[in-house]
Amino acid sequence: MISCLSLSSYSFCEKIALKKYRRCVKRGCIKRPQVVSGAKKDGFGLRVFVLSDLHTDYPENMAWVRSLSTKRHEKDVLLVAGDVAEMYDNFILTMSLLKERFEYVFFVPGNHDLWCRWETEDFDSLEKLNKLLDACKQLGVETNPAIIDGLGIIPLFSWYHESFDREDDIVGVRIPSLDMACKDFHACKWPGNLSNRDTSLALYFDSMNEKNQNTVKRIQSTCSQIITFSHFVPRQELCPEKRMLFYPNLPKIIGSDWLEDRIRSIHRVESSSFACHVFGHTHFCWDAVVDGIRYVQAPLAYPRERKRRMNGGETWLPFCIYLDGEFGAKVMPCYWSDYYAINPRTPSNTELAPWVARFYNLI
């Protein structure tokens, strides 16, 4: 079970800030700042940093956010690719802290953000989504596409569907069902027409992007460089093969075909050094070019995962993806994308990797 921060865990200043935020929301006196191009950078080029899967319900992760410099990034952009916090107050505090540190903060929701297990109010996950988006408006956090210094930034709403997975299943071992392994099936509450068990959620979230089509077209016509970002995974090859995973059914709950289609329609490239998509969710650090688009995942992940080479970061996060008109070089440790840079992907091979076989007591 996630260890959640209570209000008593906040500092005195943070308690005051949360109370002030709630008062201002009730009075309607917080105005949404407009994100515009042409921001001055005091002689330095625009810098864009990326980060996902903050999970600040863990005290260690909230402490990491608090530790970020209040000076180093004051002219920078941060893209937050979902899974900030399950608890609403932790979400508000986390986004407030990030907005204090970065000039611009963009956000798309992840699955954990829409869990409803511990909320005092009785609402479903769509109502919580709207509540989070409203909170972002009040805090000055962007959830819509924008142009900053000639760079197009496009957040993409998404969800996963089981049919995203088309690779051979692992057989011969007792793998927990999706319902047992994935808490979304119990922690999220959906209206009757939406379900994790079919494509309805993936289609619903993808349709949310339609309202921004005019802005996207303007970005396409005016920007030579575009960064899109989502929480969920757009291509199955951005996840290790099933035989490498402790939970081999993971690919059934990570991504969406409609997300990749939308990314391709935005970037409109077969090969380009000016197209980048940032994602999250799987907690695997990733940096690879596939069919002309650079795909990057830079997760903070769970505290226990940061001890592994392939999961999460701390000292090198947030990751700078864009600097002074160019996409940044690959500098973060990406165990799995580095592995596949030199080893072919063989999804038809269903022989479990030794560490997975040991996990299932097969060797």
Q: If DSSP states are collapsed to H, E and C, what string results for 312-343?
A: CCCCCCCEEEEECCEECCCCCCCHHHHHHHHC
What's residue 363's pLDDT?
53
Q: Mind listing the pLDDT tens digit of every residue in the chain (363 residues)?
A: 233 333 444 454 444 445 554 555 444 443 333 334 334 444 468 999 999 999 999 999 999 999 999 999 999 999 999 999 999 999 999 999 999 999 999 999 999 999 998 777 788 999 999 999 999 999 999 999 999 999 999 999 999 999 999 999 999 899 999 999 999 999 999 998 999 999 999 999 999 999 999 999 999 999 999 999 999 999 999 999 999 999 999 999 999 999 999 999 999 876 567 899 999 999 999 999 999 999 999 999 999 998 876 788 888 899 999 998 999 887 778 999 999 999 999 999 999 999 999 999 875
What's residue 23's pLDDT?
54
What's residue 11's pLDDT?
52
Q: Which residue ranges make up each domain of the chain?
A: 47-358
Contacts of 177 (CB under 8 A, 6+ apart): none
CATH 3.60.21 fits 47-358, yes or no: yes
275-279 and 293-297 strand pairing: parallel
Two structure tokens written together for 299: 């997760």
What's residue 25's pLDDT?
45
How many other CB atoms are there within 10 angstroms of residue 199's CB atom? 18
The residues pairing with 47 across neighbouring beta strands, listed in sequence order, are: 323
Report the distance separating Cα 319 and Cα 301, nearest Å.
14
What's residue 36's pLDDT?
40
225-229 and 151-155 strand pairing: parallel
What's residue 3's pLDDT?
34
| Residues shown for the chain | 363
Two structure tokens written together for 326: 């160019």
Q: Is residue 176 exposed (0-12), middle (13-18) or buried (19+ Cβ within 10 Å)? A: exposed
What's residue 39's pLDDT?
42
Instruction: State how far the alpha carbon of 195 is from the alpha carbons of 186, 199, 309, 339, in Å.
Output: 11, 8, 34, 35
Contacts of 93 (CB under 8 A, 6+ apart): 10, 14, 17, 18, 56, 62
- For 97, phi and psi rounded to 5 degrees? -60, -40
Sheet hosting strand 225-229, strand order edge to edge: 146-148, 151-155, 225-229, 275-279, 293-297, 286-290
